[in-house]
Structure 1
């Protein structure tokens, strides 16, 4: 069992890397009261736009970290996406999802993301140690030592109970513990990006994205904060093509080709931001090795089709923080962290497979373009098809059903549906919290159940009991009549039980109890 001995350790958790994933993890850990240090070798946060969209599920994770509303205020809410194939309008996809407080994705750039996360970290009592580079990591049975060098060039050693690598694809932490980073280059795929105002025949709407497909080319134009578009073009290019800066004229010619119109003009937004990149598809074989953990690009990376890297990193930090906090506080054994590795690798692999099948943003093939012309309009008029596309885009359908932590109907994300509780109607997520597990007795007597009280007795981790009655069929699907539904801090269902003894057995597998409770 983890021990908190601050005479032995300089901190409970040392995070290497102050990108979005590292910052989100630090916020989650601080909300549980852990002593956290965040090291960043750069002298400040990103000054570049980089990633540009946060999807629905990642916004829910940010809400649990206490900062989603400020993200929404700083970004641009996106709704319809208009699809155009070889100059022909195919249809419009409504991105609004149900069952969540955040029904639409958000256009917001990475420099703003890091600034807002940094502000939230300060609010919860954390800080970033800028110009501080980790130079060596040694992991032992009961903790880790990290050699660091600060701005003054002097080396020093920091001791921690746990170390987490969030420093990107060249992760020192991953290399130090010898975890293989399987995979390789993504062949014949390149992205060119430019922030600009676009003068063309397509009207500008503050919330409308255009996706344009042509042979070996896919271009997206998404509204961005401050006006104009983030223009991103995926092309099939030889791997030997030099990665020279993207020019305005190059992007203009790509838009002319994709839109099938000659009069397209671009005015770059200020400050000027362009980017050109090729990609790797890589996964660490495990995200845990003893007292070392990996998150974000240190653990997995792939082509940014659909803007999934940032989002998957944020959700991974959301998954890890409450589990690591439970282990450090002695509520659970370190085996709980193995479920983070299992769940996050499974999620990331699923996301990567989806990006490979994404026909909307991948460079168009003859077959794809033919299907778009013949079937695209029919697909976008089908409610079943558009609901399925929307669920996948939003990440709201990602689950942990195969996880060891999911039992008897567990694994799905609990949707935010209306329920009756405490004498009035609530949104279900208002009854849940990232700070504790929640047990939902469904359509049961509101009087205290002695067997249920006994099932929860002696647990050090907080479990709130909230009797509920579903008020619509969608809520009833996840809240079966008469059941006891146990919801994890990260909104995923752990267990759908029928009797209190099943709840007690489940919690007993993962969490410690006092001696008195074990003897009862």
Structure 2
């Protein structure tokens, strides 16, 4: 098989890139090792710049129709409001953060890809390596037992690795990475929403650590609790009790539909462009999920890459442009990591005197319109 571009990884970033390229008349194959889409959603927030990118592939209207538009964020502590942050000034087209489970976002992107080319997405195929002869790239894949040799490789002009934080393509290219680990651990789960806070996102800045709360479609709300150590086998009941202990609000454990624990790390690949292969999304930079920037950053990588791939396929020499792309996306990832680190710092436990001091600072910033608008833009990746 020979196509213009092979995309390794059929998650939200790979599917978006496929749709954007197919709209340009570029032939694409997306190689996805999973037989079925992932139904377990960690990522839920879609920021305005990403919504603009998704609008260009005609997916944003469906996302907005099904998601919850978070137009206000609120910080609380000890049952009192510390500050309020409206998002109505962050974007003319999308003045909100959209909350929608990643599983549904992927499904809508897959439908768009299949509408453009019913054969573009190939499941149950795992890419294991790449060979670049300077003119084309051959991708080795794990095929079904007994398959002929021609089904064990796919040849393309260019390859994009969107295969996640444990990217096999990145490893096959021997790209070094810089990793950071953090003393932050989280437990999160989805419960029925009491509608106490409407469609607002709420951050509870408490002495024992932050609790985050976000509305979801279908009458659900996500709760995220910061822990001092990995959660282990903690379940919905324990998570609900932690939320009640810190906030006074008790989610109904019987309504829980998902519980997940995670520890925080970040990874930055030292290179994003190797010959005719490009790394995007978590393959190039894994960012803490705090602040919801990782998936959005991947979409913006792909958006910036589309015109370069199109021009490269047209035969234009683009060495300088690809180096520029690599530098710009590394800077964007570094900024996102710094923002994530600030978010985590604000959520760590503090003794009562320091907690009051921190909350006073946050309240003063929220009460200053220029600062409030600046922080809102940073929070929404503007």
Band of TM-score, shorter chain = over 0.9
1:373 aligns with 2:359: yes
Q: Give the Cα separation in 1 of the matches to 2:303 and 2:208.
A: 37
- Residues 144-202 of structure 1: CA deviation (Å, up to 9, x unaligned): 11111235563611111111111112212111221101114x23211111000255xx8
Distance 1:35 1:114, change over 3 A: same
Residue of 344, 352, 355 corresponding to 2:337:
352
Deviations 1:334-362 (A, max 9, x none): 43222221111110111101111126863
SS at structure 2 position matched to 1:353: helix
Query: What's 2:135 paired with?
Result: 142
Residue 192 of structure 1, aligned match among 164, 175, 187: 187
> 1:101, CA displacement in angstroms?
0.6
User: How do 1:265-344 residues align onto structure 2 when only pairs under 5 Å count?
Assistant: 265-267=251-253, 269=255, 272-344=257-329
**Alignment check: 8 A CA contact 1:214 1:258 kept:** yes
Residue pair 2:243, 2:251 contacting (<8 A) in 1 also: no
Which residue among 91, 97, 103 is the counterpart of 1:105?
A: 97
Quickly say closer, same or farther: Cα 1:65–1:102, change in 2 above 3 A. Answer: same
Q: Residues of 2 paired with 1:287 and 1:106: CA distance?
A: 29
Q: Counterparts of 1:364 and 1:13 in 2: how far apart (Å)? A: 47
CA distance in 1, matches of 2:254, 2:193: 9
Q: How well do the aligned residues superpose, as a CA RMSD in angstroms?
A: 2.1
Judged with a 3 Å threshold, the aligned counterparts in structure 2 of structure 1 residues 157 and 368 are, in CA distance, closer, same or farther, namely: farther
**What is the deviation of 1:276?**
0.5
The number of equivalent residue pairs is: 377
Would the aligned equivalents of 1:216 and 1:365 in 2 still touch at CA under 8 Å?
Answer: yes
Higher relative contact order (CA 8 A, sep 6+): 2
**Cα distance, 1:232–1:151 mapped onto 2, change above 3 Å:** farther
Residue 248 of structure 1 pairs with residue 233 of structure 2? no
Q: Deviations over 1:281-326 (max 9, x none)?
A: 1100110010111011111112211011111111111111121112
Secondary structure of the 1:358 match is: helix
What's the CA shift string for 1:105-164, capped at 9, x where partnerless?
A: 100011001001111112222621011111222222112111112355636111111111
- Partner Cα distance (1:253, 1:12) in 2: 53
Identify unmatched segments of 5+ residues in structure 2.
none
- Give the aligned partner of residue 231 of structure 1: 223
Structure 2: distance between partners of 1:153 and 1:277: 39
Contact 1:359 1:368 in 2 (8 A): no
Q: Tell me the CA shift for residue 21 of structure 1.
A: 0.8
Greater share of helix residues, 1 or 2? 2
- Aligned partner of 1:421 in structure 2 is none
Which residue of 29, 34, 44 maps to 1:42?
A: 34
Is the 1:218–1:360 Cα contact (8 Å) retained in structure 2? no
SS of equivalent residue, structure 1 residue 138: strand
Question: Match for residue 79 of structure 2?
Answer: 87
**CA offsets, 1:405-445, max 9 Å, x none?**
xxxxxxxxxxxxxxxxxxxxxxxxxxxxxxxxxxxxxxxxx
